[in-house]
Structure formats: C-alpha cells, structure tokens
Amino acid sequence: RLRGPGPGDSRALHAASSSLQEVMLTSERYGVRRLPFSPLSDGDVAFFEGVMPGRVITDPEELEPFNVDWLKSVRGCSKLMLKPQTTAEVSQVLRYCYERNLAVNPQGGNTGLVGGSVPVFDEIILSTVLMNRIISFDKVSGILVCQAGCVLEKLNEYLEEQGFVMPLDLGAKGSCHIGGNVATNAGGLRLLRYGSLRGTVLGLEVVLADGSTLDCLASLRKDNTGYDLKQLFIGSEGTLGVITAVSILCPQKPKAVNLAFLGCQSFTKVLETFTTCRAMLGEILSAYEFMDEKCMELVEKHLKLSSPVAGSPFYVLIETSGSSSTHDEEKLNSFLERAMASGLVTDGTVATEDKKIKASCHFLLLWSLRERITEALTHDGYVYKYDISLPVGKLYDLVGDTRARLGRRAKNVVGYGHLGDGNLHLNITAESYSHSLLDAIEPFVYEWTARHNGSISAEHGLGFKKKQFIQYSKPSEAVLLMQRFKAMLDPKGILNPYKMLPSSS
C-alpha cells in the first residue's frame, strides 16, 4: 500500500524532503513547473498490484537509487516504481496511466548522463529491469531479438559463446540496458567499425502512450515498405513510446584483436596519427580513442591505475579487429614503425587479446585507462559534463578555450573521446556545484559548438539538462516538427515529461 511516513520513517521523510528541495532548485533554474498530471492514489497502487503482484515498489528507501541519476546531479521524488516482465504488462500500465493522466518515467539501467532517466517530479518509474529475456538468435544472419531490459554486457557474453559480438560497446555496459541504448541512440567505442544503432537496429517493439503496441520487430536486413517507423523511437529518449523489444544485427566476433596505446606531443600529432592510421590499417581499424594528460593524471590518482606510457600531453588508444592475427599484426607493426619514424608518436605499447593471464591483464589495463575516465572524474568533485561532436580539426580547441575562460574557477578541465567519429567529451570538475560556474560554462560551450558547426549532443542525448539548448543544433522548424510528433503519439504528454524537447506552449 501507498502510505505516508510513520514514526520510524524520519530518515525516509528527510530524504523525500531533500529530494523535493533539490527538484525545486533544478526546476527553478530551468524554468520547469510540474504539469497538471493526476496525483498517485491508493487505488492506482492497488490496480498495479493486481497487474504485477510483488513487483510494485513503494518503499521510499528502496526507491531512492532509482530517483537519482548516475552522476547524482538530478533527483526526482517518485513514490512508485513498477517492474513489468512482459509487453502485455507494459501495455496495461500505460493504458491505465493514459486514462488516469499519470506521468510515467521509463527507466533502463539508469546510466544516463543528462538527467533523462530519472523523474523530475513524482512521475511513476517504469523499469525494464525484469524484461531481460533473449527471444531468439539466428547464427546464419547474426540477428538477435531480445527484450529491452537485457544488460549490454550480458548480451555480449551470450553472443561471444555463439561466435558473435554486439555492435555496441560502452563503459556502462555492465549496467545499461539495450532498450535504453536504443532509446538514447548510444554511440560508444565500436561506432567507428560497426556504425550507429540507426543502422544496426533492424526492428523494434514499442508500447505507445495510450497502451497500444506497435510491433515493428522485423528480422530482415532489407524492408522498403513505407516509412521506417523504428527510426522515430531510436534516440527519442522514452518520450514517444516505451521500447519493449529489439531486433539487432550483430557482427561475427573478430578472431584477432590488438591494442596500441601511444603518446603524442600535440593534438596536431594526434590528428596526423589518425590520418596515417586510417590509411594503413583500413578495414581492421575498429576504435581510435584519444585522451589528454589530465585524464591520465585523474585515472592514476583516483583509481590507482598505472599507465605503461607516460610523459605525453596526449594519448591515443587504437584497436584493430580482424580475422587473421598474422595479417593484422603485420599491418599494425608497419603503422607503428611509420608513426615512430616520422615523429608522430614518441612512445607506446601494444597488447593482444589473449587467454594468457599476463597478456589479458595488459589488454584490459589499456582499455581501463580509457573506459574508466568517467569514473575517475566523479572522484574529483562535482562534474559538469559535455558531449559534443565537432569537425575533428577543431575537436580539442574547445578544451583550450574553456580552460582559458574558466581559469582557477575550475579544478580540472579535461578532454577525451572518440576521435574517429568526431566526438569530444569535455568535462569540468569543481569542489562543489556552483551556479556562477555553470553560468560561465553555459551557454558558452553551446555557442562555441554552434559557431563551429558542431552538435551539442553527440551521443548522450538531451534529457532534462540540455533540452533548452536544442536550438544550438536544430533549426526552429525541426524542433516544431519534433513537437508535432510528440503531440501526435503522446497527446497527453505523459511519457518522460520535461525531457528532450522545450515546451511547445
């Protein structure tokens, strides 16, 4: 039952009060007020208990982690979380919420970085955590069909046993859900080789705001019949429908994987190394990541990871994936010889994915130096995070200009990301959150990005934090059309309100 705090609930009451205060502060800053959705009643809770007995969460302490985002920067005050196991249950829930005008916050692994995965006020949390069943896998075509709550790393482990891999790899793979990945059009570490989810997702099953189910769960590589409706929901951040199942094309697992971790003396050298690398490695190049020396300092300081390459202003992580170890090693060695001889690279180390413990540890360490930068930053203080795409030649200029602008007001300003697809992660740390520091960063970062023909969100989405800045990347006509799609598919606005799009009023 839904109940008010009792005599033993002072801690929960304090947490709820703190949550509400933080929500109000956030709402005031972004000019957001609670929309006139219906408040939750005991009758609502009783209905949901009838639909999914034992999977209705009302305990404030149990709800707490699902009300707070991964960065602990956005907090909602939802009083109810639902854990459906089937599409039919999701349909029942949304049909009821639509009739009752109850707002719903779809939530996967809650690893988002822009406040899109948690409530803003008291929206019902609809979690896909129990929708984790693999429906089918075709070894001939490489097509996987699964429920939206499958964890990315678990899917990859399953596929590796079949000789395949997921076309997506993220630092949050141990927690994130494939449905959330698709809903945010997540990019990640393999995009250079396998492309974006807009190309690898073949079909979706989606429950719309009124509870109706759209079954476009195709398992065909080619289907040219009418509008490609699935694209509406890829990257829609749960505002148009709740993704319940995914059909995705998976590549075969490479037989030979190599890593090179290199030091470069300037960002110009990083760019020249990429040009040479792409020309010489060709089809086996699967990742090209860069990070500055500040990133490495934070990883070593906070996570105690020791880099085998030191003393460089910039570092590059190159991955090759192919079918012949001899062929790939020859190509990689030829590239490294060229890079060293021409002065593009001053130091480096190489690792091969191997079952031998020593080789495997070295391989994992090199990836950890890149993948755990986000974790290291959270230990450095409050983090202001920006996910930008820019022409690669301008990629690092934003970091230098931001450092110059902020000076000592920031603790650290670092830049890293997927250089192969022009994606910069600009991160600024401070001892604690500051309105004045945020005002110095925003809208400066977005104006700078727009001036250089970039995008204010390369792969993280807009969520709650960036929705009011969409005009820096999209013309007003495009935003208006998006609002029309939203109004058509969710006329009452109950799905993930306050997110992604500015108010149409």
Separation between Cα atoms, residue 115 and residue 236, nearest integer Å? 14
Of 376, 407, 423, which closes a domain? 376
End-of-domain residue from the set 249, 277, 308: 249
Query: Among 261, 287, 474, 292, which Cα is nearest to 395's?
Result: 292
Any idea what the CATH number is for the domain that residue 38 is in? 3.30.43.10
Query: Is 438 inside a domain boundary?
Result: yes
**Residue 256: CB partners within 8 Å, gap ≥ 6?**
320, 321, 322, 323, 324, 325, 327, 328, 329, 352, 353
Show the tokens assigned to 497.
């309100």
- Would you state the structure tokens that stand for residue 234, as one six-digit string? 């890829």
Residue 477 carries which side chain, given as an amino acid letter?
E
| Domain C-terminal end among 196, 216, 249 | 249
Does residue 108 contact residue 183 with C-beta atoms inside 8 Å?
A: yes
Same domain (yes/no): 187, 219 = yes
Instruction: With H, G, I as helix, E, B as strand and everything else as coil, classify residue 270.
Output: helix
Q: Are residues 140 and 111 in the same domain?
A: no
Among 271, 273, 256, smallest CA distance to 347 is for: 273
From the first residue on, what is the mean pLDDT of each consecutive set of 10 residues in the chain (505 residues)? 30 38 54 92 98 97 94 91 98 98 97 94 98 97 97 97 95 94 92 92 98 92 91 97 98 94 97 96 94 96 93 96 91 96 94 70 88 93 94 95 97 95 95 93 97 94 93 96 97 97 77
pLDDT for the residue 73? 84
Task: Note whether 203 and 265 are same-domain residues.
Answer: no
188 and 223 within one domain: yes
pLDDT at 294: 97
pLDDT of residue 355: 61
Residue 371, both tokens: 């993948």
Q: Residue 199 is part of a domain; what is its CATH number?
A: 3.30.465.10
SS3 assignment, position 288: strand
**What are the counts of helices (DSSP H) followed by strands (DSSP E) for the chain?**
18, 16
Q: Which residues of 75-110 are buried (b: 16+ CB within 10 A; e: fewer)?
A: bbbbbbbbbbbebebbbbbbbebbeeebbbbbbbbb
Gap between the terminal Cα atoms of the chain: 37
Range of the domain at 304: 256-376
Identity at 323, one-letter amino acid code: S
- Together in a domain, 240 and 268: no
Alpha helices in 342-475 (DSSP H): 357-371, 373-378, 397-406, 435-441, 444-451
Tokens of 363: 């391989």
Same domain membership, residue 278 and residue 234: no
Alpha helix segments (H runs only) across 31-86: 42-51, 60-67
Has residue 2 been placed in a domain?
no
State how many domains the chain has: 4
Report CA dihedral (492, 495, 498, 504) to the nearest 10 degrees: -40
Residue 345: partners with Cβ closer than 8 Å, 6 or more residues away: 262, 263, 264, 269, 273, 316, 336, 339
Give the pLDDT confidence score for residue 188 in this predicted structure: 86
Task: Answer yes or no: are the C-beta atoms of 257 and 329 closer than 8 Å.
Answer: no
**Cβ–Cβ under 8 Å, residues 241 and 209:** yes
Q: Do 159 and 221 lie in a common domain?
A: yes
